[in-house]
Structure 1
Amino acid sequence: MQWTEVIVAIVSSFALTIMAMPIVIGFFRTKQLGQTTRDEGPKWHEVKTGTPTMGGVVFLVAAIISTIWVALWQDVFSLGIGLSLFILVLYGLLGFLDDFIKVFKKRNLGLTSKQKLIGQILGGVLFFAAYLYDGLPTELNLYFLGTIDIGWFYGLFIIFWLVGFSNAVNLTDGLDGLVAGTASIAYGAYAIIAWNQQQTDILIVCLTVIGGLIGFFFFNKKPAKIFMGDVGSLALGGGLAAVSILLHQEWSLLLIGLVFVMETASVMIQVTSFKLRGKRVFKMSPIHHHFEMSGWSEWRVVVTFWAIGLVAAILCLLIVL
């Protein structure tokens, strides 16, 4: 894949997002539909109530259209692209239903956790079935320790990875521009890995997602004109897990997605500590709210987390490459 094709993949998705986003924002404002800030969130986030959401629909559709177009143009449409798009679409659909119920049905909690989990697990099962059918390896890459074939247990790993990271990115999506930046960095790291491994199909997926996210960021930076919603965050997290699996760099996501791991760990620590000790470790979880409660500005938290994600991604690339 030449630099021309790389630019086309990013620019096409970026352009589609930039053109469509104002239309979506205008629709939500005309219909007076927007996100409702949850009561347990920081009080100063109440000013965000009414902000349009579900912006993830736009950059996902843009990325999917661009991926299919560039893949057909380059004649590299593969199972890898099919599986990546399958997860983006399925997890995006779960998020869309969740957002739709919240926004259009005026029910603040959307889908139940059990409903989303069932859908996420089903996606993992179907992903693994197609993966096995194509004869792809069931080996875990342990880097310096080599690889280990875990057979059918790889299917359980896939389900855990997809569900875990889709929810991790979803937890992270709480500040303007936070996930748009951290996810762009993560997909960028995997684009470099895919380029190095000459897996053009996965490279195209990563590039089109990045293009869509860059376009989305112009509308999501503080003060956000629109939020991505669960439709965007669940799809992005599931997509990252899928890409790491298809590149056989599974464990790299713990480092490339360090911010998402931190956010999830903070929630787990907070809940466990409160149940066992009756005390909270953080002022509020996920951890980005802890720093807000400590007096950091929203922009300072976002930029700091971007920096952590970038340093972690560079470190991982040094290890992998």
Structure 2
Amino acid sequence: MESNYFIYLLEAAVLTVICGWVGIPLLKKLKARQSIRTEGPKSHRAKSGTPTMGGLFMLTAMVLVVLFNRLLDPSVLWLLFLTLGHGLLGFLDDFIKAEKKRNLGLTAKQKMLGQLILAVLFCWGVVDTLHLPYSIAIPFTDMDISIGLLYYPFVVLVIVGASNAVNLTDGLDGLASGCCVIAFTAYAVFCYMTGFHDLGYFIIILAGACIGFLFFNYHPAKVFMGDTGSLALGGAIAGISVMTRTELLLAFLGLIFVLEALSVIIQVISFKTTGKRVFKMSPLHHHFELSGWSEVRVVWSFWIFEGFAAAGSLMLAIYALP
């Protein structure tokens, strides 16, 4: 890969670390601390009071690197809109949690409304600007299916689903940030191979920001990304899949995120219909914790699984390219 990819990754990682060194004391001073839900694993209660909103470090570094290197391609600008829009939505959620000192911020309806508005605006913008076809590419083949105006609700579903899936994955120290490093790196390689270089630069910047954040977020975490980070990263990865026409491939490339979301859906449906729980607790990472796995073991196991899923999906997708 050309040197710019490595330079941008390094810049984003270093800037995120610098933002963390400066920002963590400020978050503590402002009392932006995490409240732990009482129904969660007992081992997590020790995390109560850990600074949150660390996603601000990643987003700040991302914007600075993009502006400094003048990466202002229309595709990058629309991804910035989607990423920062979700980051703002997450920030409002985190701020309310910190201000009220509770684990609930925005209501589910308020958060969903914000996600829908961002998704619709992004979908309209990229279709109008980049002239994307109203079709879905079938993973690992050279086929696509035209769906007409159904493309709009399809893209909205992908964005809302992915942003929530990453948000659900952010429940253990380093879990979401590490999985995002893997997913973004795979997408950067895909963009390099397919000639989407400006998009690839933006993606590798996101990977670098996540690497820098892991410096503080790996167990035991000194800061959490909060919804500020997880919603932003989820929105970004969804937007990338739309622009590269790999929405369905994302289900394989980001398999951990899919499994985490599915575990919550299955748990809710099972409990409401039968009164029984399929998992000891959802999302999925909590099930393994309550099964006796240490937090570090769960995180590393999920990272490795995501690594195999992303690498395998990437190789098959590249092999199928015309």
Separation in 1, partners of 2:96, 2:155: 28
Partner of 1:90: 85
Which aligned pairs between 1:210-225 and structure 2 lie closer than 5 A? 210-225=207-222
Letter in 2 for 1:206: I
Separation in 2, partners of 1:128, 1:108: 31
Structure 1 stretch displaced more, 296-305 or 3-12: 3-12
Deviation of residue 149 (structure 1)? 1.7
Which aligned pairs between 1:24-43 and structure 2 lie closer than 5 A? 24-43=23-42
Q: Could you tell me the TM-score, scaled by structure 1's length? A: 0.95
2:125 aligned with 1:125: no
Separation in 1, partners of 2:272, 2:142: 37
SS at match of 1:250: coil
SS at match of 2:145: strand
SS at match of 1:303: helix
2:138 aligned with 1:142: yes
Deviation of residue 145 (structure 1)? 6.7
2:303 paired residue among 293, 303, 306: 306
Separation in 1, partners of 2:239, 2:52: 25
Deviation of residue 108 (structure 1)? 2.6
SS at match of 1:251: coil
2:103 aligned with 1:108: yes
Which aligned pairs between 1:40-79 and structure 2 lie closer than 5 A? 40-70=39-69, 72=70, 77-79=72-74
CA deviation profile, 1:279-320 (whole Å, cap 9, x unmatched): 111111101000000000000000000011000011101210
CA RMSD, 1 decimal? 1.3
Q: Could you tell me the TM-score, scaled by structure 2's length? A: 0.95
Separation in 1, partners of 2:31, 2:123: 42
Structure 2 contact 35–102 (Cα < 8 Å) conserved: no
Letter in 2 for 1:108: N
1:99 paired residue among 94, 100, 109: 94
Which aligned pairs between 1:9-28 and structure 2 lie closer than 5 A? 9-28=8-27
Letter in 2 for 1:11: L
Letter in 1 for 2:215: F
1:296 paired residue among 262, 285, 293: 293
Deviation of residue 136 (structure 1)? 2.1
Structure 1 stretch displaced more, 131-140 or 253-262: 131-140
1:172 paired residue among 147, 157, 169: 169
Partner of 1:253: 250
2:266 paired residue among 255, 266, 269: 269
CA deviation profile, 1:41-78 (whole Å, cap 9, x unmatched): 111100000000000011112112212332x2xxx632
Deviation of residue 82 (structure 1)? 1.2
CA deviation profile, 1:177-208 (whole Å, cap 9, x unmatched): 00111010000110011001110111011111
Structure 2 contact 134–147 (Cα < 8 Å) conserved: yes
Structure 1 stretch displaced more, 297-306 or 34-43: 34-43
C-alpha spacing 1:18/1:145, structure 2 compared with 1 (3 Å): closer
